[in-house]
Structure 1
Amino acid sequence: MVFLFLRSGRATIIPAVSVPVSLIGTFAAMYLCGFSLNNLSLMALTIATGFVVDDAIVVLENIARHLEAGMKPLQAALQGTREVGFTVLSMSLSLVAVFLPLLLMGGLPADCYANLP
């Protein structure tokens, strides 16, 4: 899908690399923390993968816009990332803040959510 919108094979590589890298890191962290792979953790991985891909596409699309305007690749990457980097970071932090109370729950609900990555 990214290839269809940006019409660039190089632009497709970034989301294609970011997904496996983030999943490998997540599985490693789950293994080290002793979490099991179940329906809830798979659902959380699916949602988190969507966030990673969305963030990568937002940054990449802004860089592609600068490249089309005639900027040099390094300058376009720096400028494009500067423009949307704070927004992407703040959205990611706000999503963490939304789900943070799940870590502080007790009782039966805490047992249900205990294995989320």
Structure 2
Amino acid sequence: TLGRFENIQDIEEILISNILGNKIYLGDIAKVEDTFKERNSITYVNGKPGIMLSLQKESGKNTVIVAKRVFKELETIQNLLPDDISITPVFDSSDFIKKTISQVGWVALFGAILAVFVLLFFLGNLSSTLIISFAIPISLIFTFTLLYFTNLTLNMMTLGGLALGIGMMVDNSIVVLENIFRYRELGTDAKKSACLGASEVGTAISASTFTTIAVFLPILYVQGIASELFRSMGYTITFSLLTSLLVALTLVPMLSSKILRLKVKDNSASVSKEN
């Protein structure tokens, strides 16, 4: 059979059992009627009666992408329907996700901007602040790249991890830059200061970074619902710390040798000269 019913009789003739040649059909044990299911709910959309359908994505699929594809298909279906029938979405969970991601993204951006102003206040040197400011977006780009290759999408947890990671991203760069700054104040030339300043604290900031990563590492092995919630955050923080270490030991010394400007104090006299 094709699995299609043309009338009630076809349903009544569904074979239920065949014992010793005695065939029992659905019509023998049940009453089959062509009727309507009793209504237990009523749906109105904009004051007009309608039918509500709920669509759910498969587990593991991206809600925003699925919703976008569904809306595209709904437009095609709408063109096939009569003019007096319309399709009206009443709830879209992807809207909440997009708004939340946008809010977390703005919080992360505001945190980065605030970090720059705090650095300017404490360092008191515009070129130093610019170097750290360059380090933040470069670290973020590397972090996004690692997220892409590990198939982690942008969501509340990954962006939350970025928001937490931004504050820690600048730590390594500040330590390296301050040490380079110290050598420059002592009168060492720009390139040598960059090499000495970075190599001198390289082991210390590496140990500090990997110690922090070790704190978040157990999150990657959590099982169950907690794994779905916090694993992506753990990956994001780990990636951001690793990239910040790489940037602090490579980009920051290079930039400091090119754009760091300060007045070097002469120990023999109360004069200052540009280095």
TM-score (norm 1): 0.87
Deviates more, 1:94-103 or 1:30-39: 30-39
Unpaired runs of 5+ residues, structure 2, are 1-117, 237-275
Structure whose alpha-carbon radius of gyration is higher:
2
Matching residue of 1:47: 164
1:63 Cα deviation from its structure 2 partner? 0.7
Q: Is the 8 A contact 1:19 1:49 kept in 2?
A: yes
Matching residue of 1:71: 188
Matching residue of 2:209: 92
1:91 Cα deviation from its structure 2 partner? 0.6
Paired residue secondary structure (1:71): coil
- In 2, Cα distance between the equivalents of 1:49 and 1:64? 23
Distance of aligned partners of 1:32 and 1:82 in 2 relative to their CA distance in 1, 3 Å threshold: closer
Number of equivalent positions = 117
Q: Is the 8 A contact 1:62 1:81 kept in 2?
A: yes
Alpha-carbon RMSD across the aligned residues, in angstroms, is: 1.6
Deviates more, 1:74-83 or 1:87-96: 74-83
1:41 Cα deviation from its structure 2 partner? 1.3
Q: Is the 8 A contact 2:176 2:198 kept in 1?
A: yes
Unpaired runs of 5+ residues, structure 1, are none
Pick aligned residue for 2:144 from 17, 27, 45? 27
Q: Is the 8 A contact 1:3 1:12 kept in 2?
A: yes
Q: Percent of aligned pairs with the same residue? A: 34
Give the letter for the 1:38 counterpart: N
The answer to whether the aligner puts 1:111 opposite 2:111 as a matched pair is: no
Deviation digits for residues 11-59 of structure 1, max 9, x if unmatched? 2222111111111121222223222222221221122222221110111
Structure with the greater relative contact order (CA < 8 A, sep ≥ 6): 1 or 2?
A: 1
Paired residue secondary structure (1:83): helix
1:90 Cα deviation from its structure 2 partner? 0.6
Q: Is the 8 A contact 1:6 1:64 kept in 2?
A: no
- In 2, Cα distance between the equivalents of 1:21 and 1:12? 15
Larger helix share, 1 or 2: 1
Matching residue of 1:59: 176
List, as ranges, runs of 4+ consecutive aligned residues in structure 1 with deviation greater than 4 Å: none
1:82 Cα deviation from its structure 2 partner? 2.1
Give the letter for the 1:54 counterpart: D
Q: Is the 8 A contact 1:3 1:9 kept in 2?
A: yes
